[in-house]
């Protein structure tokens, strides 16, 4: 044997070193014991031991969302891999660059129904950007290189590498390729110049231009280019749930989030505009509702996206521009700097119309003396954290309130599961964000139903000293389910009531954290101030806010309806 030969497991680790990976989130098991032995012998990255594989993938996902780097998770074969599937599908729906390494039974045992065997590549195929089964030790390094390249280029996404146990024990030389080329994979970066010129002249001559930005702007790190462009042309802008922070929410050109729970002004402007520029967004059902209704008001639509399949999927696009958003926006800005911009007088009229919609003040709510309003908790959280925290959320009413009442001025601060809508992501997301930003304030906005889906991670938080603040909006209901049942199912609250809830204060204390129960509106601000104070800076604080049970999220577009068919709090 050659003296510079190392084990397959060590090759895997060396690949991670080459990729400058700082954190690996994982859980050991039989098929990955060789890899874990190699993890033990190194100190270039930190391994974060979770309490359930789902959380490993979510945490790696949030690490990526909050930094832009590739997140890495490591799980064992069989149940390790199947537990990871929810996390992988979540990352896939939101196009998060990740590499998931899964152990597999030895090559000679594949197909024999071996202990902890499952067809991981088959199971994950529909929810990964790509996956690989490594059958030869010679292929480990090149496969890992391909995995990182595919995950992080083009429209990003999770890539899974399945490695049988015997391959990790064999020995071979380590040779990490400097670059990798796949003849079948060539993402388009630069947009078509002719189309870009056409788009700009359409926008500049529009009477009612509108910008609609999505998660692609955040993922593509194009926030400053977008901000520059939008400020120069002076058009109003809205953002999807995933795009929040891509353009500063405090800017007066920003109309708030659009969609099912978007603001009245954003949805109306989206419907009434004459030229629409979509940037890194995909016109999904929760955003534009019914496509026919959306197109019933004629408009010219320009769409910038790196993924050609996102263009003309639900809505026919007039000017498609396939390319990386940062590259296309930079080109647009360059064109703008050469252009002499005339004062577009129609913009004034357009904003007048928008101001009328704004004057409806659709996000206003009445505070109560006795009951804590969930919206008030989020507003106070914004105040106490000076709008500068990393906010993760679970899925449901609290997620929408966080999106509506915590305006984000910076990208990568708002971390939630938009596409798949996975309950349980909040706490592991906060772990990933806190590890990536140890000195930052990280808050997990959640509900008493969602938090229980990954509650075991309180133990991980203790082990790694993660001072996350958990904002539990506890209304004793699966709030969003209850809201739909109230509106569309004649108040029949089928199985949406959370009975036998734990005492969250004691639960937090049992895990070694600080617990707080807040029952009065007047206690909300003092409690939040205390949780974010110096005294508790090093501690995880679980804040159980007992909120108004009957509060609903407004405005709301009922499923299948159009953008201008919103129900507001006033209507009921």
Partner 1 sequence: MRHIISLLMENESGALSRVSGLFSARGYNIESLTVAPTEDATLSRMTIVTSGTDEIIEQIIKQLNKLIDVVKVLDLNDGKFIERELMIVKVKANAQYRYEMQRMCDIFRGRIIDVSDSSFTIELTGSSSKLDAYIESIDKAAILETVRTGASGIGRGDRILKV
The set of catalytic residues is: 53, 115-116, 165, 480
Residue-by-residue DSSP string for 90-143: HHHHTT--EEEEEEE--GGGTTTT-TT---HHHHHGGGSSEEEE--SGGGHHHH
> Which of the ranges 67-75, 124-132, 396-404, 466-474 carries the binding residues for partner 1, by CB under 8 A?
124-132
Let me know: does 381 contact 414? Beta carbons within 8 Å: no
Neighbours of 320 (CB within 10 A): 20
> Which of the ranges 119-127, 232-240, 404-412, 433-441 carries the binding residues for partner 1, by CB under 8 A?
119-127
Q: Which of residues 323-342 bind partner 1 (CB under 8 A)?
A: none
User: Partners of 474 in the beta sheet?
Assistant: 546
**Of 88 and 445, which has the nearer Cβ to partner 1?**
88
Cβ at position 407, least distance to partner 1 in Å: 35
- Cα torsion angle, 27, 32, 37, 40, sign: negative
Give the residue, chosen from 81, 133, 200, 257, that forms a contact with partner 1 under the rule CB under 8 A.
133
**Of 235 and 306, which has the nearer Cβ to partner 1?**
306
Query: Three-state SS for 427?
Result: helix
Binding mask 349-388 for partner 1 (x = CB under 8 A): ----------------------------------------
Burial class of residue 26 in the structure, from the number of CB atoms within 10 Å of its CB (0-12 exposed, 13-18 middle, 19+ buried): buried
By C-alpha distance, which of 259, 260, 207, 216 is closest to 238? Answer: 259
Of the CA atoms within 13 Å of residue 20, those in its CB half-sphere come to: 1
300 binds partner 1 (CB under 8 A): no
Query: Three-state SS for 357?
Result: helix
Let me know: does 59 contact 424? Beta carbons within 8 Å: no
111 binds partner 1 (CB under 8 A): no
39 binds partner 1 (CB under 8 A): no
**Of 82 and 312, which has the nearer Cβ to partner 1?**
312
> Which of the ranges 29-37, 220-228, 301-309, 474-482 carries the binding residues for partner 1, by CB under 8 A?
301-309
Residue-by-residue DSSP string for 199-228: HHHHHHT-SSEEEEE-HHHHHTT-HHHHHH
125 binds partner 1 (CB under 8 A): yes
From first CA to last CA, the distance across the chain in angstroms is: 78
Cα 256 to Cα 426: distance, rounded to the nearest angstrom: 23
308 binds partner 1 (CB under 8 A): yes
User: Partners of 393 in the beta sheet?
Assistant: 445
Cβ at position 185, least distance to partner 1 in Å: 5
Q: Which of residues 181-240 bind partner 1 (CB under 8 A)?
A: 182-185
Give the residue, chosen from 129, 145, 373, 539, that forms a contact with partner 1 under the rule CB under 8 A.
129
Give the residue, chosen from 122, 512, 526, 560, that forms a contact with partner 1 under the rule CB under 8 A.
122
Cβ at position 104, least distance to partner 1 in Å: 14
By C-alpha distance, which of 133, 139, 142 is closest to 164? Answer: 133
> Which of the ranges 65-73, 303-311, 389-397, 442-450 carries the binding residues for partner 1, by CB under 8 A?
303-311
130 binds partner 1 (CB under 8 A): yes
Let me know: does 403 contact 257? Beta carbons within 8 Å: yes
123 binds partner 1 (CB under 8 A): no
Give the residue, chosen from 43, 126, 352, 491, that forms a contact with partner 1 under the rule CB under 8 A.
126
Locus of tokens 């199912």: 489
> Which of the ranges 13-21, 54-62, 123-131, 457-465 carries the binding residues for partner 1, by CB under 8 A?
123-131
**Of 195 and 312, which has the nearer Cβ to partner 1?**
312
Q: Where does this chain bind partner 1 (CB under 8 A)?
A: 121-122, 125-126, 129-130, 133, 150, 182-185, 307-309, 311-313, 316
């Amino acid at each position: 044997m050659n003296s510079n030969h190392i084990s397959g497991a060590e090759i895997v680790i060396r690949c991670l070193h080459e990729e400058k990976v700082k954190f690996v989130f994982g859980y050991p098991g039989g098929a990955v014991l060789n890899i874990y032995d190699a993890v033990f012998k190194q100190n270039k990255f930190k391994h974060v031991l979770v309490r359930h594989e789902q959380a490993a993938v979510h945490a790696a996902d949030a690490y990526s969302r909050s930094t832009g780097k590739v997140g890495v998770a490591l799980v064992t074969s069989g149940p390790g891999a199947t537990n990871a599937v929810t996390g992988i599908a979540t990352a896939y729906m939101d196009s998060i660059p990740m590499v998931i390494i899964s152990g597999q039974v030895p090559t000679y045992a594949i197909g024999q129904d071996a202990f902890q065997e499952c067809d991981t590549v088959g199971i994950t195929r529909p929810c990964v950007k790509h996956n690989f089964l490594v059958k030869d030790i010679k292929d480990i390094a090149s496969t890992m290189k391909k995995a990182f390249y595919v995950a992080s280029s083009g429209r990003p996404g999770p890539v899974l590498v399945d490695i049988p146990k015997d391959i990790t024990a064999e020995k071979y030389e380590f040779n990490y390729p400097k670059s990798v080329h796949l003849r079948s994979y060539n993402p388009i970066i630069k947009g078509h110049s002719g189309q870009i010129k056409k788009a700009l002249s359409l926008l500049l001559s529009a009477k009612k231009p509108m910008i609609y930005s999505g998660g692609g702007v955040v993922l593509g790190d194009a926030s400053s280019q977008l901000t520059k462009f939008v400020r120069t042309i002076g058009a109003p802008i809205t953002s999807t749930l995933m795009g929040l922070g891509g353009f500063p929410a405090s800017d007066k050109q920003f109309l708030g989030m659009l969609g099912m729970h978007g603001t009245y002004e954003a949805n109306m402007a989206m419907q009434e505009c004459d030229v629409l520029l979509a940037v890194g967004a995909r016109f999904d059902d929760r955003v534009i509702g019914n496509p026919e209704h959306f197109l019933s008001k004629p408009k010219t639509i320009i769409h910038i996206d790196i993924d050609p399949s996102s263009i003309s999927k639900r809505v026919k696009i007039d000017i498609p521009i396939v390319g990386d958003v940062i590259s296309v926006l930079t080109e647009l800005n360059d064109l703008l700097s050469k252009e002499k911009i005339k004062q577009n007088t129609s913009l004034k009229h357009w904003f007048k119309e928008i101001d009328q919609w704004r004057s409806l003040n659709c996000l206003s709510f009445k505070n109560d003396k006795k009951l804590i309003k969930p919206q008030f908790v989020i507003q106070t959280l914004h105040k106490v954290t000076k709008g500068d925290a990393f906010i993760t959320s679970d899925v449901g009413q609290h997620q929408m309130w966080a999106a509506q009442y915590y305006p984000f001025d910076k990208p990568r601060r708002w971390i939630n599961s938009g596409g798949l809508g996975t309950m349980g992501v909040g706490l592991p997301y906060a772990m990933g964000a806190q590890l990536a930003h140890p000195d930052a304030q990280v808050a997990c906005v959640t509900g008493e139903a969602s938090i229980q889906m990954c509650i075991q991670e309180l133990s991980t938080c203790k082990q790694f000293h993660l001072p996350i603040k958990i904002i539990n909006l506890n209304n004793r209901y699966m709030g969003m389910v209850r809201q739909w049942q109230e509106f569309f199912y004649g108040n029949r609250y089928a199985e949406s009531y959370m009975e036998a809830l734990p005492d969250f204060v004691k639960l937090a204390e049992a895990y070694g954290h600080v617990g707080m129960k807040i029952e009065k509106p007047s206690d909300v601000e003092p409690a939040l101030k205390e949780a974010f104070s110096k005294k508790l800076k090093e501690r995880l604080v679980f804040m159980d806010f007992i909120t108004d049970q009957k509060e609903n999220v407004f405005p709301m577009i009922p499923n299948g309806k159009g953008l201008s068919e919103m129900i507001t709090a006033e209507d009921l």
